[in-house]
Structure 1
Amino acid sequence: MALPSSPDDHHYHGEHPLRTLAYLLRGDRARLALGTVAFFVKHSPTWLLPLVTANVIDIVVTHQPIVRLWLNCGLLLGLLLLNFPGHLLYVRCVSRAVRRMSTTMRSALCRRLQELSIGYHARVSSGALQAKVIRDVETVEQALQQSADNGLAALASLSGGLVVIAVRAPLFLPAFLIVVPAAAVLVMRLRGRLRSNNESFRREVEQLSSRVVEMTALIPITRAHGLEQDAIRRVDTTLRRVLHAGLRLDLLNGRFGALSWITLNTLGVGCLATAAWIAYTGAFGVTAGDVVMLSAFFATLTGSMTALMSLAPVISKGLESLRSVGEVLRAPDIEDNAGKAEVTRVRGCFEFQAVAYGYPDAAQTAVEELTFAVAPGETVALVGSSGAGKSTVLNLVVGFLRPSAGRILLDGVDMQTLDLRSYRRFISIVPQESILFDGTVRENVAYGLDTASERDILDALRQAHALEFIERLPHGLDTVVGERGARLSGGQKQRLAIARALIRDPRVLILDEATSALDTRSETLVQDALSRLMRGRTTFVVAHRLSTIRGADRILVLDNGRVVEAGTHEELLRAGGAYAGLQGVRAS
């Protein structure tokens, strides 16, 4: 089933959520209209029953021809039989539109998350984003479905009843029309508070989602240090805030429901008493059947208005969730590649020209006045103390960050003018902690490469020294590695990550502390695999261990975001400067 265009094509800035909702449903307008007509037809017995009941009572009381009794009952029975096909048509039309809308919204969110900058993802909790994709979209879907089911039922009963009263007993129409503005006043009085409480509750739930994601990620550390109770206390604190926010919202909804029920039923009692008194006096030709009909219609009207007003909290919650989704869809922190030159070939020549970068809200720049060049196939190691700017340089090379000042040239072209998505097809990254997904070895190594053959996969695994342990796995290449590779050791995960990089045959290689967390034997195997991977490729290396960087063509020593030394391992050791004084070098 083809999906409609995503809402991230829509200019959401500052727009009311109802207009965005209408935009999301624009492709299903005809289907929704047909579903609405089907609903009114299948729901017609609800508001025709009081009229038929009134007719039957008058036929019995005034001894009219018995054939009228059968005609009225036959009409009602015929409409009842239409309920089944009408309801199926309604469900097919409306449910399809609602499900398509939620699927489209989730798809748009996922696409937008891929487009937003790494800085955005560093600021916003993954748990909060997960809550938006799962919970908020589900809330919008439920609000729309309930509004359709309950709202259309109420509107059908309300409009049908008012038409019948206008024709059969127009004297009482003004009394019924009083109910609508009375209900509207209640809704308007509480709308602002409903929105505020829904927003507060939604933010607390997002915080809870972040806490749970954090707790599950830290379970190994928590258990290792006996900190289970501390972790539980952190989650319990958030749970209490969710509880209090939820109770405040429930109490407000309860007050709203009680007030609306009392108001509407009080009006109903008044209408019943008035109609009975008029019929008792014989004025205006009001019959006993009319009294029964008016009483039934007012009960229906009261129920319909109560149903509509009970939707106010549901709709308010849905609109708040739509606003929450909009926070992602309209987030401005997006990597702009539109209209830029596509990269079709990379030699691997980089030139930093007085490059500076400062993180938002940081007191000082992370790097400044970086000027150096890297030749194709050269291996450059970045060393320095924590916070010296090494990771920032890597992120600038990958294009996750754009220079605040200066420029970076790739093969002589300013990277600011390039489509970085196409450029990254020529890059492979081996991080400190390999990121594997819960799939097979085969799927993890060939991730994103549909054309990779089994021979390609086996060759990459062999070069990465991974084949020897994979052959011992229960299902070989088809062994599931678990979430984040939980069923493999650190060295095994790193060798899979290297195989993933090898199979892509990258022109630019990023090694970010790729051996720092390994034991000696694993490091030896991984280091040998990395040596094979680095041949003929431009490589940027960040590492503390001497064994990883001593073979680099050039080593750049960073301090407070600046290059303070540059040279080979032997040259820098002879100089006896900052490089020679680094703790990792002395320890070796």
Structure 2
Amino acid sequence: MEARAREGVSALKGKHWFWATVLGNWRLYRDALGAAVLINLFALAIPLYTMNVYDRVVPNNAIETLWVLSIGIGLVLLLNFVLTTVRAYVVDVASKKVDVQLSALIMERVLDLRMESRPASVGSFAANLRSFESVRDFIASASLTTLVDLPFILLFLVVLAWISPWMLIPPVVAIVIALVVSWFAQARMEQLTKQTFQAAAQRNAGLVESLAGLETLKVLNAQSGAQRSWEQSTEYLARQGAKIKLTSSLTVNTVQTLQQVVTIAVIIIGTYLIQEAQLSMGGIIASSMIAGRCLAPLGQVTGLMMQYQNARTSLDSVDMYMSLPVEHPDDRNFVPRPFLKGEIEFRGVSFSYPGTTQKVLDSLSFSLKAGEKVAIIGRIGSGKTTLSKLILGLFQPTAGTVVLDGLDNQQIDPADVRRSMGYVSQDPVLFYGTLKHNLTIGSPFASDDQMLAAAKQAGVDEFASRHPDGYDMMIGERGESLSGGQRQAIAVARALIGNPSILLLDEPSSNMDNQSESALRESLRKECDGKTVVLVTHRTALLDLVDRLIVMDMGRIVADGPKDQVIAALRGGQIGKARSAV
């Protein structure tokens, strides 16, 4: 639909990611609801059977009638067993389908988050996402089917009124009391559950941070602080958990006590009605059974309250993450660019990281032709690394435009942008798995020959050939089983393996020795031929790879020109503060 056609018309609300998935399996839930209707109708069979036996069969000694009624009730119980089993199976199947679909949807959304929207704490983020399991457990809970039984309370009350209107008094009063108690308990549990949820996320964030920085904690003898924080969080969670369980137990016990009181009240009222000849003995027994059935769903629902609050809090948390901006919004159409020639231009680009007002880049403007090779130098914090991330489309400028091949990079699919770029970060991240897996993680269809060629160019084959497992050697999480130079070599290899038209090299040799750096420089000299190269470095040895030099300071370009001229100006003290970069 064209935008002009929507003018003056309120926008249609998009489908909620959770409820749309749940309702997508409405046929299964429809079948479960149909089974629930029959199950609740069958629940009246036993009380009515008992009433007829006491009121008609026993006084008249009608043994034939007894067997007819018994055979009928036996068939009802058999059908009830089948329907109860089928309902549980259908709900389980529906819940599993919903779980698989929602888990895939959540993971897809998380991986597509824009970097500026990513939560600051990885541990808290992971804890909140993992808490979705409580939503899954809730929708898959067998007790959840009791919610379907709630409307049938009215049916049981109607049957009680048919037996005797006086029999309505005990269950109706008990239902009102149970609802009031449940309402107050629900409000209390909501508050406690939110506090517990936040504390659990905070504890998990501290745990992840401590595990990631375990070596640093040991070096600084700071284990006691992390231990104290963990113990305090655990203590608080234990106290909150005890309060939640106490509230839940009080509510459940209240409903159970009400059920017993209702039974006694029904018998008392029934006794008076028998004396008045308004009720039979079978009527008392049937009324007692039906009155208990009226409160049974309330007791089970009360027990679900704690599970419900956990699920609700978790869903609210995940819902917040699902609403964060992503790289591929549904209403966005990108211009296909499966291949980029390598032209790069910054037009008045400014950038500040989320949550800060300080400009990392300030009105930056420059352009690179396809195949041009440029080095960017400058003091720490001058914005060199940020510039590379803007080219990759990991972040978007707060002002200005980044242009690739004459097109605003926000109009190009981020996957197309990164497919044409090989990036080496100054702190490479490796993943748990084999060396081959880490080399080809971004190019899963690369051949072994391509992988080996890239590994040789980056110097990976030197340490891979010495290992007994070769390229099947296992690498630990974040590559901590390797040295910094080895991690950088792997990062360079996986940047080269896809033969990209643009190379973004951010301190590619900062952890290498002179011999490894020299070998890498010679390999890159051949590999960079015909490619656009943006090299961020403090090592003068790699400047042999470029022809142009850009000097940055405080987010601005303070010098830009042929490499030899800029170096001479820096050494002559003509470019101010940035001269310390060379």
Q: Which amino acid aligns with 1:517?
A: N
**Amino acid across the alignment from 1:209:** N
Other structure's SS at 1:362 match: coil
Q: CA deviation at 1:139?
A: 0.9
Question: Where does the alignment leave 5 or more consecutive residues of structure 1 unmatched?
Answer: 1-9
CA spacing shift, 1:546–1:150, aligned 2, 3 Å: same
**Aligned equivalents of 1:526, 1:480: Cα separation in 2:** 24
Give 1:329 deviation, angstroms: 1.2
d(CA) in 1 for partners of 2:353, 2:444: 37
Structure 1 segment 547-586 matched on structure 2, within 5 A: 547-549=541-543, 551-575=545-569, 576-577=572-573, 578=575, 585=582
Task: Report Cα offsets for 1:481-516 as digits up to 9, x if no partner.
Answer: 232234433333322222212221111111122222
Take 2:357 and 2:151, find their aligned partners in 1: how far apart are those partners?
Answer: 62
| Residues 118-161 of structure 1: CA deviation (Å, up to 9, x unaligned) | 1112x43222332233222x111122233754515854874664
Structure 2 CA distance for aligned equivalents of residues 250 and 386 of structure 1: 53
Counterpart residue number, 1:64 = 61
Distance 1:295 1:487, change over 3 A: same
Instruction: Tell me how far 1:32 sits from its aligned partner.
Output: 0.9
How many residue pairs are counted as aligned between the two chains? 568
Checking the alignment, whether the CA contact within 8 Å between 1:41 and 1:82 is kept in structure 2 is no
Aligned-partner SS, 2:25: helix
Residues 329-381 of structure 1 deviation map (CA, whole Å, 9 limit, x = unaligned): 11246565822312133111112222212234423321112121112222222
Match of 1:301 among 294, 297, 301: 294
Q: Aligned to 2:180, which of 169, 177, 185?
A: 185
Which residue number in structure 2 is paired with residue 131 of structure 1?
Answer: 127
Judge conservation of contact 1:498–1:530 (CA < 8 Å) in 2.
no
Q: Secondary structure at the match of 2:423?
A: strand
1:483 is the counterpart of 2:477: yes
**Using a 3 Å threshold, how does the CA distance of structure 1 residues 546 and 248 change in structure 2: closer, same or farther?**
farther
C-alpha spacing 1:278/1:398, structure 2 compared with 1 (3 Å): same
Q: Give 3-state SS (helix, strand or coil) of 1:451's partner.
A: coil
* Among 200, 208, 233, the residue aligned to 2:203: 208
Partner of 1:323: 316
Contact 1:117–1:335 (Cα < 8 Å) also in 2: no
| Residues 159, 47 of structure 1: alpha-carbon distance in 2 compared, 3 angstrom cutoff | farther
Cα distance in 2 between the residues matched to 1:543 and 1:239 = 45
Return the alpha-carbon distance in structure 2 between the equivalents of residues 514 and 231 of structure 1. Answer: 34
Identity of aligned residues (%): 26
SS in 2 for 1:434: coil
The worse-fitting range, judged by mean Cα deviation, of 96-105 and 469-478 is 469-478
CA deviations 1:547-580 (Å, max 9, x no partner) are: 2345432222221111112345543342223589
Q: In the alignment, does 2:366 pair up with 1:369?
A: no
Match of 1:217 in 2: 212
User: What is the aligned partner in structure 1 of residue 419 from structure 2?
Assistant: 425
Residues 527 and 181 of structure 1: CA distance in aligned 2, closer, same or farther (over 3 Å): farther
Sort the Cα spacing of 1:552 and 1:464 in 2 relative to 1 into closer, same or farther, 3 A: same
The secondary structure found in structure 1 opposite 2:497 is: helix
Contact 1:460 1:503 in 2 (8 A): yes
Q: CA deviation at 1:44?
A: 6.1
- Counterpart of 1:312? 305
2: CA distance between counterparts of 1:207 and 1:71? 65
Asked if 2 retains the 8 angstrom alpha-carbon contact of 1:350 and 1:374, the reply is yes
For structure 2, the 5+ residue unaligned runs are 1-10
* 1:381 matches 2:375: yes
CA RMSD of aligned residues (A): 3.1
Q: Kindly tell me: are residues 423 and 110 of structure 1, through their superposed partners in 2, closer, same or farther at Cα, counting changes over 3 Å? A: same
Residue type of the partner of 1:124? Answer: A
| Pair 519,208 (structure 1): closer, same or farther in 2 beyond 3 Å | farther
- Which of 257, 268, 271 is residue 266 of structure 2 equivalent to? 271
1:205 Cα offset (Å): 1.7
- 1:38 match: 35
Contact 1:572 1:579 in 2 (8 A): no
**How far apart, CA to CA, are the structure 1 residues paired with 2:229 and 2:285?**
60
Selected match of 1:80 from 44, 66, 77:
77
2:200 aligned counterpart, secondary structure: helix
Deviations 1:94-118 (A, max 9, x none): 1121122222222222222222211
In 1, Cα distance between equivalents of 2:88 and 2:300? 20
Instruction: Please state if 1:229 is matched with 2:224.
Output: yes
Structure-2 separation of matches of 1:487 and 1:43: 62
Moved more, 47-56 or 28-37: 47-56
CA separation in 1, counterparts of 2:312 and 2:547?
Answer: 58
Segment of structure 1 superposing worse, 353-362 or 554-563: 353-362
Instruction: Identify the residue that residue 111 of structure 2 maps to in structure 1.
Output: 114
Q: How far has the Cα of 1:401 moved from its partner?
A: 2.1
Distance 1:419 1:380, change over 3 A: same
On the 8 A contact 1:557/1:579 being kept in 2, the answer is no
Change (3 A) 1:333 1:496: closer
Query: How big is the shift at 1:164?
Result: 4.2
Contact 1:51 1:164 in 2 (8 A): no
The one-letter code of the counterpart of 1:515 is S
Shift of 1:55: 3.5
Structure 1 residues 526, 246: CA separation in 2 closer, same or farther (over 3 Å shift)?
farther
1:197 alignment partner AA = L
- Supply the distance in 2 between the matched residues of 1:63 and 1:290 (Cα, whole angstroms): 17
| Aligned partner of 1:496 among 490, 496, 504 | 490
1:6 aligned residue:
none
Contact 1:491 1:523 in 2 (8 A): no
Deviations 1:208-233 (A, max 9, x none): 22222212211232234433223222
